[in-house]
Structure 1
Amino acid sequence: MSKIAYILLCHQAPEAIIAQAQRLTATGDFVSIHYDKRAPQSTYQEIVDALESNPRVTFAEKRIKCGWGAWSLVEATLSALSSAAKSFPRATHFYLTSGDCMPIKSAEYIHDALDRVDCDYIEGHDFFRSDWIKTGLKEERLIYRFHFNERTQAKLFYASLALQQKLKITRQPPADLQMMIGSQWWCLRRATVEKVLAFCDERPDVMRFFATTWIPDEIFFQTVVRHLVPVSEIQNRTPTFLIFSDYGMPVNFYDDHYDLLLGQNYFFARKISVEALELRQRLGDLYAEEGHEFHLSGEGRRVYSFLTGRGRIGRRFASRFWERDSSIGLEREVLILACKKWHVAKRLAERIHEKTGLPYVGYLFHELDANLPDLGGIETTLEKRHRHRRALIRLLMDNYDTDRIMFCVDTADLELLRDFDSARCEVRILELECEFSEDYLVGHAERLNLIGADAPSETVSRLLPTLRADIEFESRAIRENGFESLSRVRQSDDDASRAAGLIDFLQVPEDDAREILDLHYLFSD
């Protein structure tokens, strides 16, 4: 069975590197870490201290100060690769990855795939004839010498290039090598790695040439492997899924890309955003799973290209129905329980649901935790719910596969009641009129942050009459608004009067209404 030695190139986030190494070695594989020498020694030491007791982890023989597009990246890779080859004689494959990469398949799946086909996974296209390079320098990368880094020494970089072009100082690649180019990320067999390391010792001319080549990490291994290994033993593809934007920058993946990533025919993915904590956790758990079946669709790049293209013409997202149509539906029925005491309305709603099966939700426009199902994001904030209130009700009806739904509203939200009453659907409102003791009003004032628990009795005495009058005003405003279908169930009513209000609201027989109201603690605090 295959054993993988992961070559981990990294430069930041020591906690993530430690977690990645522990995750990859927990399933029996190995890790060789190169931590950029530009990073603080203290963070490198943190990684060493955390992993030094793990026999499946080793570190690069030499730490290199790495620069984007420079030979130092290849040098760092070779350092970690050499260390891995010496430290892990049981490793059958060597997989180059980074701190931004995560597995998108289980270890079981990756091992089985490597066992089935005896090959190297490395992308390589003819440097001069292919169109792999989309923008920037192409032939110039090889025929000129680059002693400066474009990102950190831009003036010197372009001045040196211009001088060589002016003086026509060029060079030729090694004559016996066909120059290839492709993705930096690969997975090579042990025999191939041993040949590459030996080649580096035997061909100092090749090493000198690539040491002054621009972006050699896309050329060196791709060229050398094809020089040493028969084409029939090479899978011309990277085992790591990545997407580049039109500007040549790698696209980041986030929490909602989990299913998309699992459907790609690759072993790892790059780049996983540092903010995608949930995605990192799920992918980490996935790597250790056994028996997971993967359904490959491979649509990742097509989806990205399509969405990017639609974005340029302002049509990246399909129009949401709540932006096109704000009606609920003439054939649909909305039942609203309006009550100042939320626990009373919830009790009655639950009782009605038990006896009739009528779907209901609680104070969905007032409290975030209203036990709502996933509705595509419209339910995530109270602001969204209010802004698309009718659409929210339609989505709930669709979710519960019903044309009738019931929810609760605070009596203070008269505007909400008015809006639903004017909607193109049948709306019935039942006001639950409660009695309010002084103790309840004091608690209500505390919940509104009007007073603290140790408020002086004089302050409370002055406040309570105003609170009571305010609640009475809300109830009166509802009655005076002229709603087309408004019923009432009052705490002070006898059983017959309560039943009459519920019959009018639910359109049920009297016996059913009385059974629903047979709840002695309905109005209890």
Structure 2
Amino acid sequence: MAKIAYILLCHKDPEAIIQQAEQLTAVGDYMSIHFDRRAKPEDYASIQKALANNPNVCFAKTRIKCGWGEWSLVQATLHALHSAIEEFPRATHFYMLSGDCMAIKTAEYAHDFLDRNDCDFIESFDFFGSDWIKTGMKEERLTYRHFFNERKNKALFYASVNLQKKLGLRREIPGDLQVQIGSQWWCLRRRTVECIFDLLAERKDIIRFFQTTWIPDETFFQTLVRHLVPGSEIDSRTLTFLMFTDYGMPVNFYNDHYDLLLSQDFLFARKISPDAKELKLRLGRLYAAQGVSFQISNEGRSLYNFLVKRGRIGRRFATRFWEKESSLGRERELMIVVCKKWHVAKRLIEQLRQSTNIPAIDYLFHEEGTPLPDLGGIQASLSKRTRHRRALMRMLFEYFDTNRLIICMDPSALELMNDFNSDRSTTRTLQIECDFSDDYLIGHAHRVGLAGERTPQQSLERLLPTIRNDIVYESDRIRDSGYSNYTIIRESDSAEENADRLAQFFSLPFETAKDLAQTPHLFAD
């Protein structure tokens, strides 16, 4: 059976460290602690005293001062790993942790998971070929030597890099290494860690190289594991669940995140807020529990993105400078059918195609596979269609040789609607207001990734009001936009009422409009 030695790098909150160590070693696992030498000596002394009688805890024999982005973080990890290798010969896996991490599965679950998956869990993506680094330095991290900390000595950091560039002091990467990059939160097998130490004993050039790279904790172990271990024995993922905000800062978890965390396909989570006392208490008890089953739905990241973006809808579809003076044509009429239930709008449009000769296109700005004519490539992708939307619509008017055209849109595309309604052409907006049952909203949550097949019913019940309010909010935004040619039909209204509005909107005879309103199963889910 798997036995885990946790490698803990920490620098504060001695009480939390003691509690974390006691919780994780209570069921037979181990912990090796490196406490930053910059921290208060009395804090380290209190940790040593509290854990002195715990045979499953050891301390790095050498403590060093650590700094973000520096080699010191890797060196501290190696010191803690070396102590763990010596002190815990029965440890089969070594799991990297910080003081902000907590288990979101039981030890029983974690051990069984590692027994069933004989591999190393570490993110390792090609440094130069991947887009893992989103902003800031990339190859300069490796090809120049870094002697200063960017956060503490920003001026010296960049002056040093610029001087090396000017003097042509670009250095070579060790020829046999293919540098990898990924999260510093990994779980490695014992034989992998032993191979790393054997390699470092022979290859001092590797240590010399990484000692002056920038943020080596994202490249050192990632590169060496991929260098030493066959790709079939590496799962390029972290077992620690973490998320980042748009500003690159870690998302904190609070008391009401307990169910969400347990449903993620990870063993630990980071960062648990210091104020989340109840969450810490519940997760602390969880690790030693037995017989707990977990319903894995893994919707955490998509749910977070959905919730945080509701309150700050931006100008994603803002008009590009080359489109400001363009127009669909003063004599043309664009009719936009807006509906959250796409299948309802599609049924109405299909019936309209059979009853009239007005060209009608489904959700061309939302569905990649919407049938479109070849327009020279502008129709090839959703991003191109959106970026060149006015040009696309002009070409569609010309292709169908018409001055009247119908398209479908999702209510979320308000910026697109605003853009077309500001054009010199005539733009009409028909909103189809549907009823939404709880079953439909649950299905919608599954389709867009807000919930998984095993999301607990309790979590779904808490999510439903948010989704329902979001749909209402989108609808209200369209009404509040004050479009001059706006019409609405409702599922709750009679076919005669809807037919009268459809006749006016599409300029159709009432009988034709009535056939549209009575489209079989128009509002059925």
Residue in structure 1 matched with residue 266 of structure 2 by the alignment: 266
The CA deviation at 1:153 is: 1.2
Residue in structure 1 matched with residue 11 of structure 2 by the alignment: 11
Within 5 Å, which residues of 2 pair with 1:2-401?
2-313=2-313
Cα separation, 1, equivalents of 2:57 and 2:36: 17
The CA deviation at 1:181 is: 0.3
For residue 94 of structure 1, what is the amino acid of its counterpart? F
SS at match of 2:7: strand
SS at match of 1:312: coil
Cα separation, 2, equivalents of 1:247 and 1:141: 21
The CA deviation at 1:249 is: 1.6
Cα separation, 1, equivalents of 2:214 and 2:102: 27
Residue in structure 1 matched with residue 454 of structure 2 by the alignment: none
Cα separation, 2, equivalents of 1:59 and 1:35: 8
Cα separation, 2, equivalents of 1:64 and 1:304: 37
The CA deviation at 1:158 is: 1.1
Cα separation, 2, equivalents of 1:310 and 1:83: 48
Within 5 Å, which residues of 2 pair with 1:401-416?
none
Could you give the per-residue CA deviations for residues 281-302 of structure 1, whole angstroms, max 9, x where no partner exists?
A: 1111111110111011111111
SS at match of 2:286: helix
Cα separation, 2, equivalents of 1:48 and 1:62: 14
The CA deviation at 1:113 is: 0.3
Cα separation, 1, equivalents of 2:44 and 2:125: 36
Could you give the per-residue CA deviations for residues 64-120 of structure 1, whole angstroms, max 9, x where no partner exists?
A: 100001100000000000000000000011001010000000000000001111111
Could you give the per-residue CA deviations for residues 408-452 of structure 1, whole angstroms, max 9, x where no partner exists?
A: xxxxxxxxxxxxxxxxxxxxxxxxxxxxxxxxxxxxxxxxxxxxx
The CA deviation at 1:275 is: 0.9
Cα separation, 2, equivalents of 1:29 and 1:91: 8
SS at match of 2:9: strand
For residue 25 of structure 2, what is the amino acid of its counterpart? T
The CA deviation at 1:168 is: 2.2
SS at match of 1:94: strand
SS at match of 1:311: coil
| Gaps in structure 2 of 5+ consecutive residues | 315-460, 463-525
For residue 201 of structure 1, what is the amino acid of its counterpart? A
| Gaps in structure 1 of 5+ consecutive residues | 315-374, 377-525
Cα separation, 2, equivalents of 1:292 and 1:28: 18
Residue in structure 1 matched with residue 510 of structure 2 by the alignment: none
SS at match of 2:151: coil
Could you give the per-residue CA deviations for residues 232-259 of structure 1, whole angstroms, max 9, x where no partner exists?
A: 1111100111111222221111111111
For residue 7 of structure 1, what is the amino acid of its counterpart? I
For residue 242 of structure 1, what is the amino acid of its counterpart? L
Could you give the per-residue CA deviations for residues 168-210 of structure 1, whole angstroms, max 9, x where no partner exists?
A: 2111111101110000001111100100111121111000000
Cα separation, 2, equivalents of 1:135 and 1:297: 31
Cα separation, 1, equivalents of 2:117 and 2:268: 18
The CA deviation at 1:309 is: 2.3
SS at match of 2:310: helix
Residue in structure 1 matched with residue 425 of structure 2 by the alignment: none
SS at match of 1:296: coil
Cα separation, 1, equivalents of 2:42 and 2:152: 24
Cα separation, 1, equivalents of 2:156 and 2:124: 31
Cα separation, 1, equivalents of 2:98 and 2:9: 5
The CA deviation at 1:310 is: 2.0
Cα separation, 2, equivalents of 1:246 and 1:208: 35
Cα-Cα RMSD: 1.4
Q: Detail structure 1 runs of 4+ shifted over 3 Å in the superposition.
A: none
Name the TM-score, length of structure 2 as normaliser: 0.59
The CA deviation at 1:162 is: 1.4
Cα separation, 1, equivalents of 2:210 and 2:244: 24
For residue 269 of structure 2, what is the amino acid of its counterpart? A
Cα separation, 2, equivalents of 1:254 and 1:85: 35
Cα separation, 2, equivalents of 1:244 and 1:175: 34
Cα separation, 2, equivalents of 1:23 and 1:61: 23
The CA deviation at 1:14 is: 0.1
Could you give the per-residue CA deviations for residues 5-43 of structure 1, whole angstroms, max 9, x where no partner exists?
A: 000110000000000000011011000000001001110
Cα separation, 2, equivalents of 1:306 and 1:162: 41
Higher Cα Rg: structure 1 or 2?
1
SS at match of 1:148: coil
Tell me: CA distance 1:307–1:168, structure 2 relative to 1, closer, same or farther (3 Å): farther
For residue 261 of structure 2, what is the amino acid of its counterpart? L
Cα separation, 2, equivalents of 1:38 and 1:311: 41
Cα separation, 2, equivalents of 1:240 and 1:227: 23
Cα separation, 2, equivalents of 1:265 and 1:50: 33
The CA deviation at 1:52 is: 0.8
For residue 180 of structure 1, what is the amino acid of its counterpart? Q
For residue 127 of structure 1, what is the amino acid of its counterpart? F
Could you give the per-residue CA deviations for residues 454-501 of structure 1, whole angstroms, max 9, x where no partner exists?
A: xxxxxxxxxxxxxxxxxxxxxxxxxxxxxxxxxxxxxxxxxxxxxxxx
For residue 12 of structure 2, what is the amino acid of its counterpart? Q
Could you give the per-residue CA deviations for residues 358-381 of structure 1, whole angstroms, max 9, x where no partner exists?
A: xxxxxxxxxxxxxxxxx98xxxxx
The CA deviation at 1:307 is: 2.2
Cα separation, 1, equivalents of 2:225 and 2:76: 18
For residue 218 of structure 1, what is the amino acid of its counterpart? E
For residue 249 of structure 1, what is the amino acid of its counterpart? M
